[in-house]
């Protein structure tokens, strides 16, 4: 337990963290990798270069400081990060290393303002926060390894099939090389895939949502090829998977993880909203709802640029056609002439609240959404403006957690 004086000191630093948080976390990662380059095998290099990881950590540190006297209130956030840590292979021995460099970064960035008293308070607070993470992750490691078909660390999986779903998305069907059973998962969860690209010094680990249903003898992940743009390079891993990996090749996979899950005990209607490759966990949820034969009405909404990049469309339409209480709605912001002629989509433009009101039968429902960050911000604002209760809004970030409000 932290003393009241320590809690008071930590809370007093909240305004400073709001201003200097990203500078602190940027310097933290620089120092961490300089002194422990082996950790580059765990962290996503692209997120580091784009500043996403620094911002995500700054937000997490800020939240921890603001809630240091009631850490239980941020337990959902802790669990989300812990799922990612377990899937990556973060272990208890990593926490002292992180703590040492985080404190050093605080001291360096804040200079004389970071007094010995403040640094000691943060050292005490970090010890408590680290213990929370270690305890939560310990339980997750045990669950992942001891469940039927589970395993510890990374397991070898063979690519059984490779199916092109659109111009940019390809599905990979994965089966265990050892022929044994595989762990089940919750619709919405992801796999971590460790890739060693020839000629590159460090391994890459990426998370990909499962787009199949639980209980099958294989996993399916549907991966978007991240082509480079003016402000960012090609996605090293996604391009490698699309261009190089073929059926018969072997990949290193960690057991399913993630706290974005379909609430199957709720009997109310379900609204699934996706943008781009964000449809992958939604398809898993849709297929699960159909497979379990629940009587819940489902509205599936997907936004894409045009039909050429719209993956798994036929699969969703077939499922919807088999259930009278299901509906699917497509919105394209750059439809082709062929799209317009064939009426391959239902609306041109972007998702907004008037359209949601028009196509969603009832607002007393569970809402799930996933996609690019600007898309998620738009959907989140629309649902908030519609006064959907926060407990009925569920979303998944691809990459480090960001802020939607």
137 is catalytic: yes
Would you list the domain boundaries of the chain? Answer: 4-146, 154-257, 270-396
3-class secondary structure, 305: coil
- Per-residue pLDDT reduced to its tens digit, 225-257: 988 655 555 688 999 999 999 999 999 999 999
- Per-residue pLDDT reduced to its tens digit, 106-162: 999 999 999 999 999 999 998 988 998 999 999 999 999 999 999 999 999 999 999
* Binding-site residues for NADP(+): 276-281
219 is catalytic: no
How sure is the predictor about 78, in pLDDT bands with cuts at 50, 70 and 90? confident
Task: Give the C-alpha separation, 321 to 317, whole Å.
Answer: 6
| CATH architecture of the domain formed by 154-257 | Beta Barrel (2.40)
* Binding-site residues: 85, 190, 206-209, 276-281, 397-400
Instruction: Domain 270-396: give its CATH code.
Output: 3.40.50.80
Task: Give the C-alpha separation, 161 to 58, whole Å.
Answer: 40
Q: What CATH fold (topology level) applies to the domain 4-146?
A: Globin-like (1.10.490)
Residues 6 or more apart in contact with residue 20 via CB below 8 angstroms: 109, 110
Catalytic residue, from 29, 126, 137, 326: name it: 137
Catalytic residue, from 95, 141, 219, 326: name it: 95
Residue 305 has pLDDT above 70, yes or no: yes
* Binding-site residues for FAD: 190, 206-209, 397-400
**With the C-alpha atoms ordered 130, 135, 139, 142, is the resulting torsion angle positive or negative?**
positive
């Amino acid at each position: 337990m932290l003393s009241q004086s320590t809690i008071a000191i930590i809370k007093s630093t909240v305004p400073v963290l709001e201003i200097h948080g990203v500078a602190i976390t940027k310097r933290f990662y620089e120092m961490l990798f300089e002194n422990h380059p082996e950790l580059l095998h765990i962290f996503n290099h692209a997120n580091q270069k784009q500043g996403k990881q620094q911002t995500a950590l700054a937000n997490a540190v800020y939240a921890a400081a603001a809630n240091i006297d009631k850490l239980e209130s941020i337990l959902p956030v802790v669990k989300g990060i812990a799922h990612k840590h377990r899937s990556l292979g973060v272990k208890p021995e990593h926490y002292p290393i992180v703590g040492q460099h985080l404190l050093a970064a605080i001291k360096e960035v804040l200079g004389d303002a970071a007094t010995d008293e403040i640094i000691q308070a943060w050292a005490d607070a970090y010890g408590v926060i680290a213990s929370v993470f270690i305890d939560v992750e310990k339980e997750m490691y045990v669950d992942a390894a001891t469940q039927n078909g589970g395993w510890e660390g990374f397991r070898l999986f063979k690519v059984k099939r490779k199916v092109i779903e659109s111009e940019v998305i390809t599905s990979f069907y994965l089966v265990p090389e050892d022929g044994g059973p595989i762990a089940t998962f919750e619709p919405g969860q992801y796999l971590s895939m460790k890739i060693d690209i020839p000629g590159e010094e460090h391994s890459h680990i990426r998370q990909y949502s499962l787009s199949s249903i639980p209980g099958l003898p294989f996993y399916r992940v549907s991966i978007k090829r991240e082509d480079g743009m003016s402000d960012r390079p090609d996605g090293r891993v996604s391009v490698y998977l699309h261009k190089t990996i073929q059926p018969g090749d072997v990949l290193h996979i960690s057991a399913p993880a993630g706290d974005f899950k379909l609430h199957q005990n709720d009997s109310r209607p379900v609204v699934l909203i996706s943008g781009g490759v964000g449809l992958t966990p939604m398809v898993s949820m849709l297929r699960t709802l159909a497979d379990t034969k629940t009587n819940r009405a489902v509205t599936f909404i997907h936004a894409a640029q045009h039909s050429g990049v719209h993956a798994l469309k036929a699969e969703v339409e077939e499922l919807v056609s088999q259930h009278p209480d299901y509906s699917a709605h497509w919105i394209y912001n750059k439809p082709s002439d062929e799209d317009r002629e064939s009426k391959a989509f239902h609306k041109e433009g972007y998702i907004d609240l008037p359209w949601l009101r028009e196509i969603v039968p009832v607002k007393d429902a569970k809402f799930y959404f996933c996609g690019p960050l600007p898309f998620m911000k738009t959907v989140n604002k629309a649902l908030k403006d519609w006064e959907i209760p926060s407990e009925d809004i569920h979303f998944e970030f691809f990459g480090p957690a960001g802020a939607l409000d």
